Amino acid sequence: MSSQLKINGETKTFDQGLPDTLTQLLETLAIDAATVVAEIDGRIIERKSFAQTSLSEGQTIELIRFVGGG
């Protein structure tokens, strides 16, 4: 079953079904959770809740990734 999420404005299709949680999505995308701010449907998700945050079809997800320097 293929499923879709809108991530940073682009539709991403998951042929094997959605990752169960936000943590699993970040692992799939090879993103370090320590340097990302996540919003799902406009709502901020705190990093400590990533592992308990389940995903569902059609959600809009913003992943703001930080690199060092300032």
Partner 1 sequence: MTPHVFYELKDAVVGIAGLGGLGSNVAVALTRLRVGKLVVADYDVVEESNLNRQNYFADQIGKHKVDMSIENLTRINGEADIEGHKIRLTPDNIPRIFKDCHIIAECFDRADQKQMIVETVLSKMDDVVIVTVSGLAGYGRSNDIVTRYISDRLVLVGDTVSGIGPGVPLTAPRVGIAAYHQANAITEILNDRLKSK
Q: Which residues bind partner 1 (CB under 8 A)?
A: 34-37, 39, 42, 44, 46-47, 62, 64-70
Cα distances (Å, whole numbers) of residue 29 to 69, 70: 23, 26
Nearer to partner 1, 14 or 62 (CB): 62
Nearer to partner 1, 16 or 68 (CB): 68
Residue 51, phi then psi, degrees to nearest 5: -70, -25
Tell me the closest approach of the beta carbon of residue 45 to partner 1, in angstroms.
Answer: 9
Tell me the closest approach of the beta carbon of residue 24 to partner 1, in angstroms.
Answer: 19
Nearer to partner 1, 17 or 59 (CB): 59
Measure the CA–CA gap between 70 and 63, rounded to whole angstroms.
20
> Going by C-beta distance under 8 Å and a sequence separation of 6 or more, which residues neighbour residue 31?
63, 65
